[in-house]
Amino acid sequence: MTYRRDIGLLIVSVMLAMTPVARAQQATPAPVTQKAVAPRTILFIGNSFTQGAHSAARNWRAGTVTDLNGAGYGGVPALFKLFCDQMGLDYAVSLETQGGKTLGFHYDKRRALFDRSWDVVVLQELSVLNRDKPGDTAHYLRDVARLTSLFRARNPAVDIRLVAAWTRADQIYRPQGHWYGRPVAAMANDLRAAADGARAATRGVRGVLPVGQAWNRAMAQGVADPNPYDGIAYDQLDLWAYDHYHASVAGYYLSALVTFGAVTGIDPTTLGAKEKAADELGLSEAQAAALQRVARDTLAAEGARLTEE
């Protein structure tokens, strides 16, 4: 009996000696560690129009994205990345680009670099679709189908988007241009029709990014000048670079806004006039806000169009 009483007293003394914190720690189960959520992955495949060529956007913030070729480009992917960061979205952004090349080139020569699972893939074709036959869609349809098949084999739920690019001023206003003499919106509308055709013909392509339609809207609304060859009107933007072919910072900014809004579903105007990329690349707050409105309205029109279909 004495032995049992001593043991009991010992246990009581130990419990009394424990601090309230120590007792609480013993009574509270260990927290469950939450598994980290991996960032959403997006891959951009394209050429100089994706790279941001002939503008300050080309190598801007290249360290925030992964260039699978190690060329150090930022461009539209880096703009997309910063937009996402500002909205609290976790995207791991990669790009595989080569100036002046078609989607067929990327499939034939570079697919080992990107043959893996992605959440989102953005495909941007050569600006005239076919260098030898401008406007011809045969190779474009084939290559969209080949790339879509490759990506869906890795991830059946991959979100594939096709870029419908902008009108090249040199193709409209110069006699050697395939679209010479036609309205400034004509080339962008033809590229959009080609992208729509590729989407309709290819199971697994989720949508078309209406970049060219945003450019058309910017010009129609007086935000941007429609003809860089006769001078830029006061208080309007020049969406083209010095070659009247590639985009200026404003043009790439608008392209990235449309891509961001379409892929994430977020209204581009939510970024606001004080958006960081615009400030870093030399766009005024008024210009940033105007381009964001154009992107928003273009995407809204796309939504209405799809509803009608």
Tens-digit pLDDT profile for residues 76-124: 999 999 999 999 999 999 999 999 999 999 999 999 999 999 999 999 9
17-43: pLDDT as tens digits? 444 434 444 444 555 555 578 999 999
State yes or no: pLDDT of 15 exceeds 50. no
Give the count of beta carbons closer than 10 Å to the beta carbon of residue 195: 28
Tokens of 130: 């076919």
- Residue 3 — pLDDT band, cuts 50, 70, 90? very low
* Residue pointed to by tokens 């790009």: 95
pTM of the model: 0.88
Give the least confident one: 5-19, 165-179, 279-293: 5-19
Question: What's the pLDDT score for residue 16?
Answer: 37
What gap in Å lies between CA 41 and CA 82, rounded to an integer?
14
188-231: pLDDT as tens digits? 999 999 999 999 999 999 999 999 999 999 999 999 999 999 99
| CA triple 39-250-302, angle to 5 deg | 65
* Mean pLDDT of the 166-187 span: 98
* Mean pLDDT of the 252-271 span: 98
Alpha helices in the chain (DSSP H): 2-17, 20-27, 48-51, 75-86, 103-114, 138-154, 169-173, 186-201, 211-220, 249-264, 276-281, 285-308
Tokens of 258: 């449309």
Question: What's the pLDDT score for residue 34?
Answer: 55
Tokens of 45: 């495949």
What gap in Å lies between CA 53 and CA 45, rounded to an integer?
14
State yes or no: pLDDT of 2 exceeds 90. no
Contact criterion met (CB below 8 Å) for 74 and 87: no
HEC assignment per residue over 113-151: HHCCCCCEEEECCCCCCCCCCCCCCHHHHHHHHHHHHHH
Region for 241 from its dihedrals, namely left if φ exceeds 0, alpha if ψ lies in -120 to 50, beta otherwise = beta
Question: What's the pLDDT score for residue 305?
Answer: 65
One CATH from 3.40.50.300, 3.40.50.1110, 3.40.50.720, 3.40.50.10480 for 40-308: 3.40.50.1110
